[in-house]
């Protein structure tokens, strides 16, 4: 069975992606599994460029089909910040708790009806000696006034789905796969990976 490398060491992302790719004809591996340590400076100006940068760097280092994602939270009241800077919004080595505290401080004066936001995810699938493929997903919600839930990571505990009356971090993996930005992008990625698996077999 062909290997598929996930270009991330983020345990939350690995857990989600593995769940969403369950049943695919690939052995999913991580950089830790392969002993690969690639330093990628995510200094591009779009989710797609950053995802491509990671996917191609890890694919080159491993020789494997590689999947990478770049995602971000865009809050309308903050002129769509933090966007591509979501992971570093509260500082280079900030924890999830630091990021949540920082975002809540920025929104301290913003009332309930003005806290709309969206999550965006772009997935890049780098294939050795072939063109990199892309998938995109987004979801819309509202930023809460306090974190709720423990099933997610990053800004998930603040991101509310009004129609579900739940935050992203209060959803099960199964529920999250249906409505999240990453879930939607990965549903599209499954089709592309199925085609790649058939090509590898042939």
d(CA 70, CA 62): 20
Give the distance between the most distant pair of CA atoms in the chain. Answer: 59
State the number of CA atoms in the 13 A half-sphere of 16 facing the CB: 30
Q: Which residue has tokens 């409505």?
A: 179
Residue 108 near residue 179, CB atoms below 8 Å: no
70 is catalytic: yes
d(CA 56, CA 52): 6
d(CA 75, CA 112): 13
d(CA 202, CA 199): 5
d(CA 164, CA 178): 12
Q: Which of 70, 96, 156, 165 is catalytic?
A: 70
Q: What 3-state DSSP class applies to 151?
A: coil
Active-site amino acid positions: 70
């Amino acid at each position: 069975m062909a290997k598929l490398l996930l270009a991330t060491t983020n345990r939350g992302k690995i857990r989600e992606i593995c769940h969403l790719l369950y049943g695919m004809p690939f052995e999913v591996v991580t950089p830790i599994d392969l002993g690969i340590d690639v330093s990628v400076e995510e200094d591009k100006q779009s989710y797609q460029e950053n995802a491509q940068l990671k996917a191609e760097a890890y694919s080159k280092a491993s020789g494997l089909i590689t999947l990478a994602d770049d995602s971000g939270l865009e809050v309308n009241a903050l002129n769509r910040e933090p966007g591509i800077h979501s992971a570093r919004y509260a500082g280079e080595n900030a924890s999830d708790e630091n990021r949540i505290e920082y975002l809540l401080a920025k929104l301290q004066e913003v009332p309930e009806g003005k806290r709309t936001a969206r999550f965006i995810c772009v997935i890049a699938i780098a294939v050795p000696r072939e063109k990199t493929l892309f998938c995109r997903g987004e979801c819309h919600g509202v930023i809460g006034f306090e974190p709720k839930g423990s099933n997610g990571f990053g800004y998930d505990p603040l991101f509310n789905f009004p129609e579900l009356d739940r935050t992203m971090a209060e959803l099960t993996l199964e529920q999250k796969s249906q409505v999240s930005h990453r879930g939607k992008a990965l549903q599209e990625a499954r089709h592309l990976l199925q085609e790649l698996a058939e090509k590898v077999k042939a």
